[in-house]
Amino acid sequence: MIPKIILGKGPDATRRTIGYLFGPGRANEHTDPHLVASWNGFAPDPGRSPHRDPKEVEKQLAAQLDQPVKILGDKAPKFTVWHCPVRAAPEDPILTDDQWAEVARRIVAAAGIAPDGDEDACRWVAVRHADDHIHIAATLVRQDGRRPKRDYDQRAVQKTARNIEVDYGLRRLKAGDGTAARRATSKEHFKAKRLGQDATPRDVLRLRVRRAVAAADSEAGFLFLLEATGVNVRLKRGPSGYALGCNFALPGDTNDQGEPVYYAGSTLAPDLSLPMIRERLVTTSPAPTTVPPGNPWHQATAAGERIPHHLAYGDDQSAQGQLVALGMTLDLLPETAPRAVRAELSQAATAFERATRSRITADLDSTRALRRGLQGIWRERPQDRDGTGLAMLLDVTLTAVAFAMHWHRTHQHAQQEAAAQQALVHLHAACAQVVEPVLTQLARRTPNVQAKRRYTRHIQATVPEHAERILNDPAWDALATVLAQAEATGHNTATILGRAISQRTLDDARSPARALTWRIRRLGERHVPSPRAQAANVRSSTAQRSSAPVRPSATVPLQQRSPARRR
């Protein structure tokens, strides 16, 4: 059950609201509008007065609601109307008028509009004009002339709605923390439907602004990308000329006066205000010239592979920063993927957007490598002839999202956990179309039995604690192929395998063979080190493994481990 509070102002606010509720609707969607409850139980009902002109009854009802406001005259508050649609889910049972009346009474009591037993409370009515929802309209002056105490009414109403869902056996929504993006209004949905659009301008703008933030490395680049994707930008400047805010509009989206409809960034999502966007752009300034250029697919994948470790062992601020960067990865993946999987990846990004925000402040310093890798993919569009680059990044992203879901669960972020879980469904579908074919192609080129036996001995000697999992992994043939490819280009098998394992633990890998396949593939494309350097690498890897402490995750019971580990 979804309640949403809307405030109205102006001398005719009450009359306009009542006229809309008892009218035909914007698309003739209102059916049999009538009162189900009111402040006194006998307010005039325009929908149940067959012997009177409905317009006259609407006028009478609006006048009665407005009476406390009119008495105050110039001392009346700026906002005089409290309007709250309350909608049930499509699969919910249809409630009776009496049940909706009880829902309305509980909502206005929770909001402070009409507390139980308060005879001097605000005047209100509940109007039903469809099976699945009602509208509650109230005036914001009590009958004793005071203002209602409705501090945090949205939060109180949402909490009451969760209790109502339990009491009436309705679909139970997840409790939020106030960081969700603002939903499009019914007016915006009707407008989009009337114009034949699949999404509202608010939703389209949110997606385009998020992608621009993910792809840009400066404020100027961010504004340029928005212009390139057809978004009109209007900056709000202070007296000094410095931009304080940013509003966005789509070409052709106009109001009744033909003016563009602009949305402030903060109304698209809490993290899309200009100060928040600037904070993210600071962490993606161009890399120093001393950093050697590399394959951005490899850079982004290597950074993405470290996200589970940050979520499992890092502090909350760093973990929240990783979730922000993970969301940016999902925002850009559809732009670099084959057309066949763009829809699934776009749905994954849209779903995970909710999982990128919580009440925890994000520390973005540790996300620089991932952000720069993503921007390199965006700017340079490096060749990915066999699809391995996308497959690697998509596979590690899938694992990271699984850890994100677990992290939100442990922090009791119900909405974020559900969003990550929904994103996983779409990512699994995309992986089936992208990752599996790449692994299948690699497996078809697996080396002969003698070579595989030799690689088996290397695995058993190098990583004995994971050898059985690797050798029984469906991706073992693909791993053997990339080991053979690396060996063919001059790499020493023991050395490159040791380097791949030393990069990160395999404890949290869903598929250790797949993880090693991507690491060997990245390392194998690098310049082959000299024999002396190879020997030094072997000694270093051996020393690191012999001195490494026991991993905590290797000793905890299976039921306490991350869900991604048990896959």
Evaluate whether 249 touches 234 at the Cβ level (below 8 Å): yes
Q: Give yes or no for residue 366 having a pLDDT over 60.
A: yes
Which residues make Cβ contacts (< 8 Å) with residue 262, sequence separation at least 6?
Answer: 232, 234, 247, 248, 249
Summarised one tens digit per residue, pLDDT across range 58-117 is 999 999 999 999 999 989 999 999 999 999 988 899 999 999 999 999 999 999 999 999
Q: What is the mean pLDDT of residues 551-556?
A: 34
Retrieve residue 440's tokens. Answer: 């299948």
Confidence at 510, pLDDT banded by 50, 70, 90: confident
Spatial separation of the C-alpha atoms in residues 177 and 158, rounded to whole Å: 11
- Among the residue ranges 142-156, 239-253, 525-539, the one predicted with the least confidence is 525-539
Retrieve residue 566's tokens. Answer: 């048990």
Return the closest-CA partner of residue 125 out of 245, 254, 22, 249. 22
Rg (CA), the chain: 29
Q: What is the mean pLDDT of the chain?
A: 87
Q: Give yes or no for residue 445 having a pLDDT over 60.
A: yes
DSSP output for 428-442:
HHHHHHHHHHHHHHH
Strands 243-249 and 2-3: what pairing?
A: unpaired
Cα angle 526, 527, 531 (rounded to 5 degrees) comes to 125
pLDDT at 344: 96
Evaluate whether 27 touches 193 at the Cβ level (below 8 Å): yes
pLDDT at 350: 95
Tokens 């057309």, located at residue: 339
pLDDT at 487: 92
Q: What is the mean pLDDT of residues 347-372?
A: 93
